[in-house]
Amino acid sequence: MTETRYSTMDLADCKAFYRETVVPAMKDDGLNPTTETPTYAWLNGRFPGLVKHLQRRFDLSPGQFYDEIEVPEDEKASEPFDFLSDNTQRAIEEYLAELSTRRGRADATIDTRRSILRRYAKVYTNIHDTKDLLAPLENPDERVAEMDRVAATFDALDQLDEALTTLASRRKYVQDTRQFYKHLVMFGGAAYNPLADLEIRFGWDTTPSWDNKALDRDAVQRLYAAATELRDRFIVVACCGWGLRPSEVASLHIRQLNLDPDDNSHSYIEFADGERKNGPGTVALLAGLKTVTERIEALSDPDWNGYLLPSSAATTGHLTAETVRRRFKSVAEVADITVDGDRPTPKTGRRFWYTTYGAAVRRVAERFEDVAAEQGSASAQVVLDNYLSESEARSHRRAEMREALAGLFDE
């Protein structure tokens, strides 16, 4: 279509053009017109004349145009839960329906609760690589582990979500999320509520300060430099550069590592079902590859059992999580590093990873501020969540994270 033809189109013509031309092009590119609208970059790349015409003739951004012609057609498209398992989606929708039909909550309240739950669930799934938020709730023995997963999610939310800036907002976020779990417990969908006493755990019941101290970049570099043994350098990399738990570091096996993917993507760790307390998942290895390669080369011999931290004395064949913690603290003593007056532990190293990740995601969001403005979105985070595919958003996050970690584990 030429620029001249665009100039003759009224709003009804633009709407018809969207349905007859833009929608088929979206389908060709794997987009779903019933649940999403094109990003500004996609529409401007494919139909730049339409974008200019909307701006010149009607003073509409693409986002305002979508609102004007009422697309996407799915009324829940702005905040879908389709990244979750079917049973988790169903549980959330049933809870929201209960609020609306039986408790008589206002539509605005339902919309706010939906937004909070979606944000919480999105971060939970990104961190823990699982679509099912319900499975751990069925087993009371999972209570402590699930409380840790929920706490880790709020660790990340504190870094990622601009709404969590005050004590009141944090309490409100926790309370609204807790109500969903309370609903599950009430109707037999959960054996316990993993958000019980979360404010006390984080100190939000008495003070607005955030007490979960983390290592900073300089401290991590000093730790790595102080680790004279390759085993200890590997432990520092795994905790601070990959964000692994001590138990995951201790039991890491070479079969879990893919250091040379066929598709030329980043190297990664793959956890099979049952190998990680929060289920299956992958961890991108965006730093420290030289260290892990050297570790493998040092261990390679006919008698090696494949564990990166093998132990001939342990029945498991590998070191314990407690040994990993002890080695980490020993390196911290050599480096003479403290965090809030205490020697750092692997947990503070893992928090460094979360803090760095949060900052990287914020920088990605900042790059989309212009797009958000064009879309008429409230923030760039809305663009990242609702307009980019999950693979696109993940690619942006990992590229930024790779850059943030670059040079951290150099000799």
- Look up the CATH number of the domain holding residue 262: 1.10.443
For residue 309, tell me if it sits in a domain: yes
**Cα–Cα distances in Å, from 410 out to 22, 265, 350, 354?**
49, 22, 19, 21
pLDDT at residue 111, as a whole number = 76
pLDDT at residue 146, as a whole number = 95
Which strands sit side by side in the sheet containing 257-258, from one edge to the other? Answer: 257-258, 267-271, 281-285
For residue 52, tell me if it sits in a domain: yes
**Cα–Cα distances in Å, from 141 out to 116, 119, 136, 277?**
27, 27, 9, 11
pLDDT at residue 410, as a whole number = 80
pLDDT at residue 209, as a whole number = 41
- For residue 42, give the H/E element and its range: helix 40-46
Pair 223, 372 in one domain: yes
Pair 394, 319 in one domain: yes
Pair 58, 123 in one domain: no
Q: Please report the sign of the dihedral spanned by the C-alpha atoms of residue 193, residue 196, residue 201, residue 202.
A: positive
| Parts of the chain with a pLDDT under 70 | 1-4, 35, 59, 64, 67, 72-79, 106, 108, 159-168, 206-212, 263-264, 273-280, 368-390, 411
Bridge partners (DSSP) of residue 253 are: 307
The domain boundary residue, chosen from 202, 227, 254: 202
Scanning 129-214, the segments in alpha helix (DSSP H) are 143-160, 167-186, 198-202
Pair 152, 17 in one domain: no
Pair 20, 152 in one domain: no
Helix (H), strand (E), coil (C) string for 351-371:
HHHHHHHHHHHHHHHHHCHHH
For residue 79, tell me if it sits in a domain: no
- For residue 271, give the H/E element and its range: strand 267-271
Pair 309, 389 in one domain: yes
pLDDT at residue 264, as a whole number = 60
pLDDT at residue 408, as a whole number = 92
The domain boundary residue, chosen from 150, 170, 202: 202
For residue 13, tell me if it sits in a domain: yes
For residue 164, tell me if it sits in a domain: yes
Pair 172, 312 in one domain: no
CA atoms within 13 A on the CB side of 344: 28
Cis bond upstream, residue 48 (ω within 30)? no
pLDDT at residue 3, as a whole number = 46
pLDDT at residue 172, as a whole number = 80
The domain boundary residue, chosen from 167, 202, 237: 202
Pair 195, 221 in one domain: no
Pair 60, 137 in one domain: no
Structure token pair of residue 27: 């389908």
- Residues 246 and 356: their CA atoms lie apart, in Å, by 19
pLDDT at residue 113, as a whole number = 86
Question: Structural domain of residue 125, as residue ranges?
Answer: 94-202
Pair 27, 136 in one domain: no
**How many separate helices (H) and strands (E) can be counted in the chain?**
20, 3
Number of domains, the chain: 3
For residue 212, tell me if it sits in a domain: no
Pair 98, 60 in one domain: no
Contact 219, 344 (CB under 8 A): yes
Q: What is the pTM (predicted TM-score) of this model? A: 0.51
For residue 251, tell me if it sits in a domain: yes
For residue 81, tell me if it sits in a domain: no
Pair 188, 239 in one domain: no
